[in-house]
Amino acid sequence: MRRFAPWLFAACLAAAATAATAVTQAGVQLDELTWTELRARIDAGATTALLPVGGTEQSGPHMALGKHNVRVRLLAVRIAERLGNALVAPVLAYVPEGSIDPPRQHMRWPGTISVPEPAFEATLEAAARSLCRAGFQNVFLLGDHGGYAASLERVVARSARATAAAPRCRVHALGDYYSAAQQPYQRALAARGLTPAEIGSHAGAADTSLMLALDPTLVRTDVAATRPRDAADGVNGDPRRASAELGRLGVELIVDASVAAIRDRLLNRK
């Protein structure tokens, strides 16, 4: 038998170690991976994709227009890291926000970007199917805005029909992600002394606290502290008592609920 050269054996070991390290240490965001790295991650068992859906809209004079996009990306990363077998697709940042002409809903304030529902749903469906084609077995849609929840469900239904003949990959709308930020989070804030008028439903204490916990650079705290805000400012709620500490309550609720729901669906494949 021919002897295996020691230097060649060492080189093979080094190459294997490098490949293993790349798979282990790489981040969970598709944006940061090459296609070969992505394929290796999927082959190694990362067969769940999280597709975050945000929105570019006004959030009062004290919070940046990219609130939804940054928030859903950062939360998706935390969820994927907790799951251990998931990767995060790029955020879909353009969503239905109301009529452009005449301007309605959030389109009444500068900076909001709106797309028609059919265009939004077609883009989301194509993105989900692309992830399936890449080799993922489950794709979860994480919607950070309640206004397009029905669109996410329609995309799931159409994707199911498209893959009915060979259901290797399944698309899910993860409603648990959004619902955790509603009543559970509101109850947690109320337990710490905040009133419903402060908590609000858009850019109030709840919304602003989440952003302070995740990326405080997007919050103009000096503006938030000056006076109560109202509908004319694009605000429902009062952000003056918002804090990162309060926001961490919501972050924990959202991540915990999302991870539990994803694990349950993967276990039961429903």
pLDDT at 121 over 50: yes
Per-residue pLDDT tens digits for 59-87: 999 999 999 999 999 999 999 999 999 99
Q: 45: phi > 0 → left, psi -120 to 50 → alpha, else beta; which?
A: left
Judge whether residue 135 has pLDDT over 60. Answer: yes
pLDDT of residue 20: 43
Answer with the residue of higher pLDDT: 168 or 88.
Answer: 88
Largest Cα–Cα separation, the chain: 84
- Taking the C-alpha atoms of residue 196 and residue 198, their distance in angstroms, rounded to an integer, is 5
Confidence of residue 3 (pLDDT cuts 50, 70, 90): low
Q: What is the pLDDT of residue 200?
A: 95
Angle at alpha carbon of residue 251, lines to 248 and 257, rounded to 5°: 140
How far apart, in whole angstroms, are the C-alpha atoms of residue 99 and residue 93? 17
The predicted pLDDT at position 12 comes to 46
- Report pLDDT digits (tens) over 12-23: 444 444 444 444
- 89-116 tens-digit pLDDT: 999 999 999 999 998 899 999 999 999 9
Residue found by looking up tokens 């919304």 in the block: 207
Top-tier CATH class for 28-268: alpha beta
224-264, pLDDT tens digit by residue? 998 777 778 899 999 999 999 999 999 999 999 999 999 99
Q: Can you give the pLDDT at residue 269?
A: 72
Residue 37 has a pLDDT of 98
Decide: 62 and 208 in contact? Cβ < 8 Å. Answer: yes
Tens of pLDDT along 150-209? 999 999 999 988 766 557 899 999 999 999 999 999 999 999 999 999 999 999 999 999
